[in-house]
């Protein structure tokens, strides 16, 4: 079973890393796909996502943040977590970001 979680973000630079940690640690025995839809942020959120996910989705077994607030995905066991960023080129609002995420999910549950 794989659970897909869509997180719409707009100007969340200082909270997004912590939010991803909380979501990743919830239901620890469930494989998760976290889809982060950046809705044209202007506060550095998009740049943070692009720096942490330069090649698109990343997989791991756990998540933490380093001293600079960047993502560290653990590889202790079989990957059970995928984080995938999607970028809107124009602000479409929370509803638009949710629709984008819902259209992109690959898990059995959303």
Q: Using one digit for the tens of pLDDT, what is the confidence trace for 28-86?
A: 999 999 999 999 999 999 999 999 999 999 999 999 999 999 999 998 778 899 999 99
3-state helix/strand/coil string of 8-65: EECCCCCCHHHHHHHHHHCCCCCEEEEEEEECCCCCCHHHHHHHHCCCCCEEECEEEE
The predicted model scores a pTM of 0.93
In the chain, what are the domains?
Answer: 2-104 (3.90.550.10)
Distance CA 7, CA 85 (A): 10
Q: Which two tokens stand for residue 105?
A: 């999910």
Q: Using one digit for the tens of pLDDT, what is the confidence trace for 81-106?
A: 999 999 999 999 999 999 999 999 99
Tokens 């059995």, located at residue: 108
3-state class of 100 per DSSP? helix
């Amino acid at each position: 079973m794989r659970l897909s979680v869509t997180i719409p973000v707009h100007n969340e630079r200082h909270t997004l890393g912590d939010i991803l940690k909380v979501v990743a640690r919830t239901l620890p025995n469930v494989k998760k796909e976290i889809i982060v839809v950046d809705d044209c942020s202007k506060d550095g959120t998009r740049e943070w996502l692009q720096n942490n996910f330069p090649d698109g989705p990343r997989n791991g077994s756990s998540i933490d943040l380093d001293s600079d607030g960047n993502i560290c995905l653990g590889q202790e066991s079989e990957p059970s977590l995928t984080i995938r960023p999607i970028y809107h080129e124009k602000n479409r609002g929370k509803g638009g970001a949710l629709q984008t995420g819902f259209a992109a999910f690959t898990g059995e549950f959303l």
